[in-house]
Amino acid sequence: MKKDAKIYIAGHKGLVGSAIWKNFQNKGYTNLIGRTLEELDLMNQQAVADFFEQEKPEYVVLAAAKVGGIIANNTYRGQFIYENLQIQNNVIHQSYVHGVKKLLFLGSTCIYPKQAPQPMPENCLLTDTLEYTNEPYAIAKIAGLKMCESYNLQYGTNFISVMPTNLYGPNDNFNLETSHVLPAMVRKIHLSKCLEDNNWDAIREDLNRRPVEGIDGNATEKEIVQILNKYGISIPQSFNPSVLLNLWGTGKPMREFLWSEDMADACVFLMENRNFEDVKAECDGEVINTHINIGTGKEISIKELSEVIQKEIGFQGTIRFDSTKPDGTMRKLTDPSKLHRLGWKHNIELEEGIKLMYQHYLKA
């Protein structure tokens, strides 16, 4: 790739896209283009076609998607499948129509079966049923990677699909209504710490930056207490002087987490150094499951994760798990050996990443 090549990053403001944009910039690429949702609705087929005709990008990174945690996935099932299919179909097809040299499609490891072998290799895709809570999103992402694979085989395109594990990092989503487990936990434990310290100025500042269900720092103390309680943060009582934080599930599920800037480095590495033919060479027999896992190959329980974050933030109260709430898939550990063979490994370990994440949260 030439440093002045025109590279379109769809979703360049999000956790994934912004990290990839930053990595390209740091490596000296000077012709990056992006569009906000207000500037370009990727669900609008004609608008996407017009954009490609006007801009003619040479390379495309498809990081735009409707994403969320277990609550959002299970609540907005129709939106998750419809919006993601629309976005993918429009961008992938127009990349083919306009002769894009290489496209990188980002999916998610939730594409794998609920009872997938652990760690999950790429070839376990479509071997069993999916986890119900995120099935619509997973089906959309499976369709996207199969679309890339099928276009490569029929039309000779150079589209690569990657499946990152759970990501966290700068520009993460801390909205308690839609966020994933790690950023949600960071915010909840931060607010619990503020409550523990009776630091109402910090609580109000936090809510002003990121209102919860319309409740901001100008709300009454009673309203703030009610919204915190709704999300599991209980104010101290005379019989229980410590702040209590209730989290969903049993705390037993194991999860793998990857620093978003590591993920971005893997994506740019693949854009610069590997093509579909390299991935195709990994296949044994039929050209199938050509996508690439991006992960660490390491896992931690949700309970242990809460303890790491609690230690980093300095919260002294009690964290309990509500076993009446769903856990989701019990294990989702990727097998990153294909990516390792292609020449890339992660750098940031989880404890360092959480420290960086919390520093970002306080400044953002």
Dump the DSSP string for 61-124.
Answer: EE-------HHHHHHSHHHHHHHHHHHHHHHHHHHHHTT-SEEEEE--GGGS-TT--SSB-GGG
Strands 32-33 and 102-106: unpaired
What are the tens digits of pLDDT across the range 70-89? 777 788 899 999 999 999 99
Please tell me the class of the 7-171+255-298+331-349 domain: alpha beta
What are the tens digits of pLDDT across the range 108-164? 988 999 999 999 999 999 999 998 888 999 999 999 999 999 999 999 999 999 999
pTM over 0.85: yes
Backbone angles phi and psi of 130, in degrees to 5: -90, 165
CA distance 324 to 329: 15
- Catalytic residue positions, numbered: 137
Instruction: Give percent of the chain with pLDDT exceeding 70.
Output: 98
What are the tens digits of pLDDT across the range 248-300? 999 999 999 999 999 999 999 999 999 999 999 888 788 999 999 999 999 99
CA distance 46 to 81: 20
For residues 154 and 92, the answer to whether their CB atoms sit within 8 Å is: no
Backbone angles phi and psi of 323, in degrees to 5: -70, -5
Tokens 């009610």 locate to 226
Cβ within 8 Å of residue 137, ≥6 positions away: 66, 67, 73, 80, 81, 84, 108, 110
Residue 58's identity, in one-letter code, is E
pLDDT at position 239 is: 61
User: Domain ranges in the chain?
Assistant: 7-171+255-298+331-349
Give strand pairing partners of 233.
245
Q: What is the mean pLDDT of residues 89-111?
A: 97
What are the tens digits of pLDDT across the range 191-210? 999 999 999 999 999 999 99
For residues 155 and 143, the answer to whether their CB atoms sit within 8 Å is: no
Structure token pair of residue 364: 């953002």
CA distance 358 to 360: 5
For residues 157 and 352, the answer to whether their CB atoms sit within 8 Å is: no
For residues 133 and 74, the answer to whether their CB atoms sit within 8 Å is: yes
Q: What is the mean pLDDT of residues 4-10?
A: 98
Higher pLDDT, 229 or 67: 229
